[in-house]
Amino acid sequence: MPHDAPKSWTTTVLFTPGSYLKTRRTAQLLTLQDVAARIPTIPRDAEHDLIAWLERIEADLVPASINTIDALHSAYRFDRSVLAALAAIARGERDPIHTPRICRICACSWRQPCTYDHVACAWVAGEDLCTACADDLIAAAVVGAVA
């Protein structure tokens, strides 16, 4: 049953579990090769096999098991509760109105904020945008205006 209560913020990007993981990885400036190198397998899987596996996960072609989530979480930061909520929405077990608040650029959340110089980001009022990404957008606009 849909929930009709209005949100206090606007969603502009509809994340899937795979797109969320990809956005968190790229926000941390990690390539697929970087992540593949950080995932221990016994026996050691070929890097190209790990990269292909990661690509399938990020494209939502294969679901991530709990063991996969643990391996990915050891390689880079993401909010497990956000991933679980997005997976439940993708499976039809949760109404999309209950999508967690996620930054549309870096996919940070209130439980896993961006931190710069030990200061956590906050939310831009009414938007799915964190202050760190908003500052980056403003800086890019200023540079573009000067050029």
Q: Consecutive 10-residue runs of the chain (147 residues): their mean pLDDT?
A: 58 90 97 95 83 97 94 96 94 88 94 88 90 85 62
Which of 99, 96, 57 has the alpha carbon at shortest distance from 76?
57
- Backbone φ/ψ region at 29: left (φ over 0), alpha (ψ -120 to 50), beta: left
Q: Which pLDDT score, from 0 to 100, does residue 24 have?
A: 97
Q: Which pLDDT score, from 0 to 100, does residue 131 have?
A: 94
Q: Which two tokens mark 14?
A: 């509809």
69: phi then psi, degrees, rounded to nearest 5? -60, -40
Q: Which two tokens mark 73?
A: 């979480």
pTM over 0.75? The answer is: yes
Q: How many CA atoms lie within 13 A of 56 on its CB side?
A: 12
Q: Which pLDDT score, from 0 to 100, does residue 1 have?
A: 45
Q: Which pLDDT score, from 0 to 100, does residue 74 have?
A: 96
44: phi then psi, degrees, rounded to nearest 5? -65, 120
